[in-house]
C-alpha cells in the first residue's frame, strides 16, 4: 500500500504523541526529512508524493528510536549550533540554543586570540569561536576521551583542527598557559533535580556532563579556585549556569577574589551566563 508524505507525517505524529513525546509533530517532520534526505521545509511541497517503501521502513526505525525518547540529534547524528552542523552521539551533551548565549557574548567583546574551553563535549564552543575568529588558538579539554573524539571530528568538519589542541583533562589539571578567553558549560544540575529531567536527557545524555552531584555547583567552585592562574589580566571568562543559579555562582567567583562579575540572560530572558573579569 502506498503512503504519501502527508499520510506518513500524520500517522507518525499520532504515534509519537501517543508515546508521550511532547514535540511529536516537529520530530516526525525532522525524522521523515532525514529518511528522505531532504530539508524539512520541503516536505510541505511534497505532501502528495509517495514515500518509497524502503524509505518508509527507515522512517519507521527512526520513529521507534524516538518512541524510546532517544534525542532527535542522536538519531539523525547531529544538530545545528550557531549556523553550523555538529556531530552528536550519546558521548556528548545535545547542543542547546541557550548555550549560544556564550558565543554571542564572546563575539560582542572579542576577538580573543588565546581561548580555553573547559569541558568541551562536542566542541561546540571551541570550534565555533575558532571558526568565527581566524586568528584564534584554542585548547579544549574534557575528562572523556570519547567526547574529545567527537569534538575533534567537529573541528575537522569546520576546518579548524590546526588551531585547536584537544587535551584529556579534569578541568585545569593538564592545562598550561594564560588565556584571553575561558569558556565553559559545566555540569550544573543538582542531584535532587535529576529525577525531574525529561527522559530524553536523563536516560540518553552522559551523566557526568549533566550533574556533579550535590547542589550542582561544585564545578564552579573548582574552576573559581584556579581561575586566577589561567585568566589573563584583561581576560574574560564565561560560564553557562542553570537559570536559578545566577546569584549563587556569581558569589562563588566574587568570594574567589573576582570583583567584576555579571549575569547575562538568554533569548528567553532567563539567567544563563556568568561573566568574570579581573
pLDDT digits (tens, 9 = 90+) for 214-240: 999 999 999 999 999 999 999 999 999
- Judge whether 163 and 130 are in contact, CB under 8 Å: yes
Report the 10 Å Cβ neighbour count for 40.
15
| Average pLDDT in the chain | 96
Mean predicted confidence (pLDDT) in 249-258: 97
Quote the pLDDT of residue 134.
Answer: 97
Mean predicted confidence (pLDDT) in 259-275: 97
Whole-prediction pTM: 0.93
pLDDT tier at 278 (50, 70, 90 boundaries)? Answer: confident
Q: Per mean pLDDT, which range of 38-47, 90-99, 166-175 is the poorest? A: 38-47
pLDDT tier at 18 (50, 70, 90 boundaries)? Answer: very high
- Judge whether 85 and 40 are in contact, CB under 8 Å: no
pLDDT tier at 88 (50, 70, 90 boundaries)? Answer: very high
Peptide bond into 111 cis (omega under 30): yes
Mean predicted confidence (pLDDT) in 148-167: 98
127's CB contacts (< 8 A; 6+ apart) are: 84, 86, 151, 154, 155, 158, 160, 164
pLDDT digits (tens, 9 = 90+) for 91-121: 999 999 999 999 999 999 999 999 999 999 9
Quote the pLDDT of residue 1.
Answer: 57
Quote the pLDDT of residue 2.
Answer: 77
Quote the pLDDT of residue 130.
Answer: 98
3-state SS, residue 241: coil
Mean predicted confidence (pLDDT) in 135-162: 98
Task: Please state, for a pLDDT cut of 70, what percent of the chain lies above it.
Answer: 100
Amino acid at each position: 500500500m502506498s503512503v504519501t508524505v502527508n499520510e506518513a507525517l500524520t500517522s507518525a505524529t499520532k504515534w509519537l504523541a501517543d508515546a508521550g513525546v511532547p514535540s511529536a509533530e516537529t520530530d516526525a517532520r525532522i525524522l521523515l526529512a532525514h529518511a528522505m534526505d531532504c530539508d524539512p521545509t520541503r516536505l510541505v511541497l511534497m505532501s502528495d508524493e509517495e514515500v518509497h517503501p524502503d524509505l518508509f521502513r527507515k522512517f519507521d526505525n527512526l520513529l521507534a528510536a524516538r518512541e524510546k525518547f532517544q534525542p532527535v540529534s542522536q538519531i539523525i547524528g547531529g544538530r545545528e549550533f550557531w549556523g553550523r552542523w555538529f556531530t552528536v552521539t550519546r558521548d556528548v551533551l545535545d547542543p542547546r540554543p541557550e548555550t549560544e548565549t556564550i558565543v554571542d557574548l564572546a563575539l560582542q567583546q572579542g576577538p580573543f586570540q588565546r581561548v580555553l574551553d573547559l569541558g568541551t563535549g562536542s566542541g561546540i564552543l571551541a570550534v565555533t569561536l575558532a571558526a568565527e575568529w581566524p586568528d584564534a588558538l584554542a585548547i579544549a579539554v574534557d575528562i572523556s576521551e570519547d567526547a574529545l573524539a567527537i569534538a575533534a571530528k567537529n573541528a575537522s568538519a569546520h576546518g579548524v583542527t590546526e588551531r585547536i589542541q584537544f587535551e584529556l583533562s579534569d578541568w585545569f589539571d593538564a592545562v598550561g598557559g594564560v588565556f584571553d578567553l575561558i569558556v565553559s558549560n559545566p555540569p550544573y544540575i543538582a542531584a535532587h533535580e535529576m529525577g525531574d529531567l525529561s527522559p530524553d536527557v536523563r536516560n540518553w545524555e552522559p551523566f557526568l556532563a549533566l550533574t556533579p552531584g550535590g547542589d550542582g555547583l561544585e564545578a564552579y567552585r573548582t574552576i573559581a579556585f584556579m581561575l586566577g592562574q589561567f585568566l589573563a589580566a584583561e581576560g574574560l571568562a564565561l560560564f553557562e549556569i542553570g537559570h536559578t543559579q545566577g546569584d549563587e555562582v556569581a558569589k562563588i567567583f566574587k568570594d574567589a577574589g573576582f570583583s567584576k562579575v555579571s549575569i547575562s540572560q538568554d533569548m528567553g530572558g532567563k539567567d544563563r551566563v556568568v561573566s568574570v573579569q579581573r
